[in-house]
Chains A and B, each alone.
Chain A
Amino acid sequence: MKKVGEVVLLWLLILFIHNAAGEGYSPPGKPTNISCRSPEKETFTCWWKPGSDGGLPTTYALYYRKEGSQRVFECPDYKTAGKNSCFFSKNVTFVWVNYNITVVATNSRGRAFSDPVDIDVVYIVKPNPPEEVVVNVTEDKDWPFLQVSWKPPKMADTRSGWITLFYEVRLKLENKNKWEEVSAGQRKTLQIYSLRSGGTYEVQVRCKPDHGFWSEWSPSSRVKVPEYFPQERSMWILIVVFAAFILVIFIWMVYMNFHSVKRYLLPPVPGPKIKGIDKQFLKSGKSEDIFSSLVVSDFPPTTSNYEDFLVQYLEVYVPEERELIMDEGKDLQDDSFKTENSTCDNDSGRGSCDSHTLLTDKGGGDKEDGQQSDQEGSQAEADTKSQEEALEEELLACSHENLQSSNVSNEKEKVKSWPSLFSPLPQYSLSPVNRPNPPKTGQQHCLSDSLFTPNSMPSYFTQPGPSTRKGFRSNYWECSFDHKQSHPLHPQSAAHEHLQAQNDLNTAHVDYMGAPLDVHVLNVRPSEYVEVQRVSVEDGVLLHPVSPSQEDSRTLSHQTEDYSRVRVVNNDNGLLLLQRDAIEEEKSMCPYQEDVVSRASITPTLQNSATGINIALPILDEMAASGYIDTATMFGLPTH
């Protein structure tokens, strides 16, 4: 029983399966995807996709109708084109004719019709790939390129003009995946440049009719490009070297101009500005303005300040009394100073009008001025140098003048005038000249100037710096003027005139100097006053320094220095007093100084008990090492 049961179950199972299988029989499925292609526009092939066969052998049939006809034709050839295809030969192919194609699947159960498809051969042309693709590597001056050539597919008749094909080429490196496509038009050759050295290329070609589909790509044609990289390498080396060279030059240029660049970026700290001078103003370029700008108010010394240097003036006023007064006759000195200065002119460049040994009242005035100037300030220090220079200049000028002056008469005159200075009696040699108290200003200029010693300068001259020079100049002027004027004159009359000229100069000079300067000029070195201790009967004059009581302490220090020594004593009572410092200079520069005797006009008012002029040559020699004395102080200043 169990066996039967099993057999029955088995049979039932088989039946069941069989029935199941048997119910699978069905009409075939509908064929789909009918596509037709013509390779040359002369034949075409259609393919379809069969549906399910329904479990039964299914046959497929293709039927077509041409436009304008109801006649149905069946596919003539199912085999040529493979399975599920239909090949239309030339005989049945008509171009510009609309085909309506239907595929029918048939099996025992039924049949299935596919959807109809309309085709026109003209628009379904898909040619075969181009044939005989040849790729050559052509060497062109070491820059190779590819030469690709091909032929149209055999089937397509392009020669008769039946089909017009357009070609396309593509290539890629063997390793890469990206293709590069190049259109070739209707040509059958193509050149490809810009190849990679040593690379291997694959080249493919395809074609398309003017109205149709692209063909498949032709099989790859491989080609290897030869190595031409070494040239590139050498070129790269050249480029690198050149670039390095340019870089080195650039760095060097930057290095050379580093300072200018640095200066541009970090401008230097501007230097100190000169007070009173505008840099921009200087840049403006006007010379006049520039020079005026350079002129500081205080420097160079104005004319007025120069009169301070007139302190050097020694106006030896020889009054009829011929008294030597060492005191400060301020008032008198002022008067005499002003009058006696007229003899000297303001001609710059010339030294004092006469010899250096002029003693004028100026000295007193200078002394007076000196007092005041001392009180004023310490500008003398600044003047020292200028004064020194002026002194030297004056000495030079004096030397020149002395050289020039060849008038013995002058000397005589001076000599003549000299005694009047020292002798109490105003036996003025210029007797023909009857001048009661003529202000006879000796040519003290040089002398007075010589009084200015470098050491003594600062103390005695409190004048402003710029004035110093001018004062010297004035003295120079006086000197020269004296000489000039004295030449054409008669000896005696010349002397007279000389005196007068000198007086005039001095006076004029004094006037020119102006009042304040007069004061200053007069303020020579009070300490330099040489007191005439004793006046010998004949020719002796003893000079000793005046006590600095009336002057500042400053002057004290320079007392000794200012002692003059009698350089020479003329026969006619001429005494040349030299300051200590100036002696040496005098020896070298002023050879005539010995002969020149400054005339000192001694105001008659000079009365002083202390006015004892002790002139002792030896003493003076000692003391006069420094050169000229301030004869003005010595003689001219009334020491009241």
Chain B
Amino acid sequence: IRAASSCTNGQTGCHFLSLANLFDRVIQHSARMHGISNDLHSEFELYFLPSKNQIGRVSRNCHTSTILTPNGKENAQRIAREELTEVILKLLVAWREPLWHFHQNMAQHREFNNFSSNKSLEMSEMVHELRRGVQKVVEKMQMLGVINSSLGNLGSPEALLASDRAEWRLMNDYDLLYCFRRDSNKIQNYLKILKCRIVPEHGC
């Protein structure tokens, strides 16, 4: 996602408009990503899990559970923009590699049809693109002074991935899909909240 800015540096109103557009684009992207993950999850349930409600599922742990994410509206509104943005980026970064491996597994299994295989590929690519888009938004926001520049560690994905490196390998595919579906929803929601907090006048 590239920010198409047609404004000069002096006009803040125009910048905010472009920021709002950036947010819209990112939000749309995240929405699409969530939709794909939702479809894949439903297909997985049909093929592999006849019983939906299993007690064992409660014990499931997503590898991203270590990332503290707001679980409610008040929490989400209470958290700082920078922190919220950081959460988003963390999530996006955390899912890049697992999804890639998931796609590799899908291609090998042959149990999924081509449609699902294409979706998994698209999903993995989307995560990557969404992260770059969000980074652009962050840069924009930092440029505009919306958020301060204390988020220096966001620029280094390796630091984020270091703690999450091995945990996702313990998850099976179904749990992975389940977890990603939820996390993509979180990303989408967080982006919406962020947008309405920063540029509320544009469609909130």
Contact = CB atoms under 8 A, between A and B. Distances in A.
Nearest to A102: B55
Nearest to A98: B58
B114 to A, nearest CB: 26
B103 interface: no
B204 A98 contact: no
B141 interface: no
B145 interface: no
B73 interface: yes
Contact of B61 (A68, A161, A211): A68
B120 to A, nearest CB: 20
B199 to A, nearest CB: 10
B109 interface: no
B77 interface: yes
Interface of A: 41-42, 65-68, 90, 93-98, 100, 115-118, 120, 122, 157-162, 164, 186, 210-211
Given A100-B55, A118-B52, A164-B192, 6 more contacts: A65-B58, A90-B74, A96-B182, A159-B200, A159-B204, A160-B193
A116 B72 contact: no
Contacts of A159: 196, 200, 204
Interface string B54-72: 0101111100010001011
Contact of B59 (A68, A115, A161): A68
Nearest to B183: A96
A211 B185 contact: yes
A95 B204 contact: no
Contact of B197 (A68, A117, A160): A160
Contacts of A186: 203
Nearest to A66: B58
A116 B53 contact: yes
Contacts of A157: 73
Contacts of A116: 53, 55
Contacts of A120: 182
Contact of B71 (A96, A160, A162): A96
B195 interface: yes
Contacts of B185: 96, 122, 211
Given A68-B59, A120-B182, A161-B196, A42 B65 contact: no
Contacts of B61: 68
B180 to A, nearest CB: 12
B149 to A, nearest CB: 24
A41 B189 CA distance: 12
A93 B74 CA distance: 11
Contact of B60 (A67, A95, A160): A67
A152 to B, nearest CB: 12
A115 B53 CA distance: 9
**Closest 3 A-B residue pairs measured CB to CB?**
A161-B196, A161-B192, A94-B71
Nearest to A160: B196
Contacts of A162: 73, 76-77, 189, 192-193
B181 to A, nearest CB: 10
A117 B53 contact: yes
Contacts of B186: 96
A42 B72 contact: yes
Contacts of A117: 53
Contacts of A210: 31
Interface of B: 31, 34, 38, 52-53, 55, 57-61, 65, 69, 71-74, 76-77, 182, 185-186, 189, 192-197, 200, 203-204
A160 B197 CA distance: 7
A521 B192 CA distance: 132
Given A122-B185, A161-B192, A93 B204 contact: no
Contacts of B72: 42, 90, 93-95
A160 B53 contact: no
A42 B74 CA distance: 9
A502 B58 CA distance: 152
A67 B182 CA distance: 13
30 contacts: A42-B73, A67-B58, A68-B59, A68-B65, A90-B72, A94-B71, A95-B72, A96-B69, A96-B71, A96-B182, A96-B185, A97-B71, A98-B57, A98-B58, A100-B55, A116-B55, A122-B182, A157-B73, A158-B204, A160-B73, A160-B193, A160-B204, A161-B195, A161-B197, A161-B204, A162-B189, A162-B192, A164-B192, A211-B34, A211-B185
Contacts of B182: 96, 120, 122
Nearest to B185: A122
A41 B185 CA distance: 13
Nearest to A41: B73
B68 to A, nearest CB: 12
Most chain A beta carbons < 10 A, residue from B74, B186, B189, B193: B189
Contacts of B58: 65-68, 98, 100, 118
Contacts of B52: 118
B62 to A, nearest CB: 9
B14 to A, nearest CB: 22
Contacts of B204: 158-161
A21 to B, nearest CB: 37
Contacts of B53: 115-118
A120 B38 CA distance: 14
A211 to B, nearest CB: 7
A160 B74 CA distance: 10
Nearest to B38: A211
A354 B73 CA distance: 145
A319 to B, nearest CB: 136
A212 to B, nearest CB: 11
A347 B189 CA distance: 126
Contacts of B55: 100, 116
Contacts of B196: 159-161
Contacts of B60: 67
A9 B197 CA distance: 82
Nearest to A211: B185
Nearest to B76: A162
Contacts of A90: 72, 74
A213 to B, nearest CB: 15
Query: Which among A68, A97, A157 has the greatest number of chain B C-beta atoms within 10 A?
Result: A68
A100 B60 CA distance: 13
Contacts of B31: 210
Contacts of A98: 57-58
A108 B163 CA distance: 53
Nearest to A97: B71
Contacts of A160: 73, 77, 193, 196-197, 204
Contacts of A96: 69, 71, 182, 185-186
A158 B61 CA distance: 31
A164 B182 CA distance: 17
A210 B73 CA distance: 16
Contacts of B57: 67, 98, 118
